Amino acid sequence: DIQMTQSPSSLSASVGDRVTITCQASQDISNYLNWFQQKPGKAPKLLIYDTSNLETGVPSRFSGSGSGTDFTFTISSLQPEDIATYYCQQYHNLPTFGQGTRLELE
Amino acid sequence: QVQLVESGGGVVQPGRSLRLSCAASGFTFSNSAMHWLRQAPGKGLEWVAVISYDGSNEYYGDSVKGRFTISRDNSKNTVYVQMNSLRAEDTALYYCATARHLWLITYWGQGTLVTVSS
């Protein structure tokens, strides 16, 4: 299995802050990397697919970059509705997820 | 709009079986691969299985291989997972999800809770 290591595991930030989450794969996954948002009590929602493609309807303050083993997810200006847990997920091999990053308001 | 409704969850004893269903609407089900994923209480996400649009290909996660079987009925717009030899560690909220191609997981249902306990 490909292991996905996300950091940090939790993060506190203020409205308007730039927020960055990283995800490292245990081997080269090319660009087969997605980012999901999960709000409490809700199902995960796809935000970014194939490293940097914004899913339809997702605000442009969300972005992703990277390739190979190192990937980054960014919220350019944090909004209150962005409070959630974020997961990276690879599908170069059978899908695996990072352990999640819980984002809280400071 | 896409709608996925899981059902069939409940409390089951270790070693017993359970079948989950996921009824789909709002998209062309017969053209879409379908996944099952799960989330143990307070934990992260784990992929369980995928079935191709026509049912010709299935893949499983290591933790369920040999115990779980994914299937689909395109005439009923429904995907299933048959779960046998259930263990306490299978306790989780089980989600079904659509895929843009075999592996790009997109939209998730709201989940059905399975609790394995004596």
Determine whether the interchain pair B105/A98 forms a contact, defined as Cβ–Cβ distance below 8 Å: no
Shortest Cα distance from B76 to chain A (angstroms)?
24
Interface test with B, best of A10, A90, A97, A102 (most B CBs within 10 A): A97
- B52: number of Cβ within 10 Å: 16
**A44 closest CB neighbour out of B45, B62, B103:** B45
Q: What is the mean pLDDT of chain B?
A: 98
Residues paired with residue B110 on neighbouring β-strands, in sequence order: none
What was the pLDDT predicted at B91? Answer: 98
Query: pLDDT tens, B56-77?
Result: 999 999 999 999 999 999 999 9
- B60: number of Cβ within 10 Å: 19
* Averaged pLDDT for residues A90-104: 97
**Between the CA atoms of B116, A38, A100 and B50, what dihedral angle is there, to the nearest 10 degrees?**
60
Residues paired with residue A36 on neighbouring β-strands, in sequence order: A46, A87
**A91 closest CB neighbour out of B104, B107, B111:** B104
Selection from A22, A6, A36 nearest residue A71 by Cα: A22
**Which are the contacts of B61, defined by CB distance < 8 A and separation ≥ 6?**
A94, B46, B47, B48, B49
What was the pLDDT predicted at B84? Answer: 98
Would you say residue B101 has pLDDT above 90? no
Q: How far is CA A10 from CA A19, A85, A86, A104, in A?
A: 11, 9, 10, 8
What was the pLDDT predicted at A61? Answer: 98
Whether B54 contacts B39, CB under 8 Å? no
Q: Assess A51–B contact: CB distance below 8 Å, yes or no.
A: no
Determine whether the interchain pair A34/B47 forms a contact, defined as Cβ–Cβ distance below 8 Å: no
* Averaged pLDDT for residues B76-90: 98
**Cis omega (within 30 of 0) for bond into A8:** yes
Query: pLDDT tens, A23-81?
Result: 999 999 999 999 999 999 999 999 999 999 999 999 999 999 999 999 999 999 999 99
Strand, coil or helix: what is B30?
helix
Length of chain B: 118
What was the pLDDT predicted at A106? Answer: 92
Determine whether the interchain pair A94/B107 forms a contact, defined as Cβ–Cβ distance below 8 Å: no
Determine whether the interchain pair A89/B103 forms a contact, defined as Cβ–Cβ distance below 8 Å: no
- Give the DSSP letter of residue B52: -
Query: pLDDT tens, B32-53?
Result: 999 999 999 999 999 999 999 9
